[in-house]
Amino acid sequence: METTLIILKPDAVQRGLMGRIISRFEDKGIQVVGARMMKISPELAATHYESHHGKPFYDGLVNFMTSSPVLVLALRGVGAIAICRKMMGATFGSSADAGTIRGDFGVSNSFNLIHGSDSPEAAERELGLFFKSEEILEWDRASEGWVYDLSGDEPE
């Protein structure tokens, strides 16, 4: 099982898309194990996006991410990091495939609705930035045995 850090960015919250985006993950069988609505501070945005520091879009990105509340989610599933990235689509709304979140809900290259961790290392780091360990909940999902084949050693 993997847990990934997803942020529904200010444009997703302001445009009233939170429910529809969360529904896509729930429909897929991904489990919500943490949720936190917050306004990101400039310091936290800078830490979160430190690998982009110095890039031409960096200042605009930090301004955008701190401009209005976001919904931060911890999502869990087998292969959840790659599955969520695939469901998000390519970075730019203008070129993201139809059927993806960015492809279906936006056209902008800056306001692209959603962040998702891109590796297990990034997920661990980013979950630690936005959640205390007790805010990520281990809970038994009633549908688990129909979402996964649980007859073997690992959910499949």
Catalytic machinery residues: 115
Between 104 and 118, name the residue whose CB sits nearer to ligand IDP: 118
Between 95 and 137, name the residue whose CB sits nearer to ligand IDP: 95
CB of 132 to ligand IDP, least distance (A): 24
H, E, C per residue of 46-58: HHHCHHHCCCCCH
> Buried b vs exposed e over 71-88: b needs ≥16 C-beta within 10 Å?
bbbbbbbeebbebbbebb
Binding residues for ligand IDP, per CB under 6 A? 52, 57, 61, 91, 109-110, 112, 115, 118
Separation between Cα atoms, residue 79 and residue 125, nearest integer Å: 17
CB of 82 to ligand IDP, least distance (A): 13
The token duo for 83 is: 């599955």
CB of 115 to ligand IDP, least distance (A): 5
Dihedrals phi, psi of 134, to nearest 5 degrees: -75, -10
The token duo for 156 is: 């499949």
Between 118 and 135, name the residue whose CB sits nearer to ligand IDP: 118
In 3D space, the residue among 72, 80, 71 whose CA is nearest the CA of residue 31 turns out to be: 80
Between 104 and 155, name the residue whose CB sits nearer to ligand IDP: 104
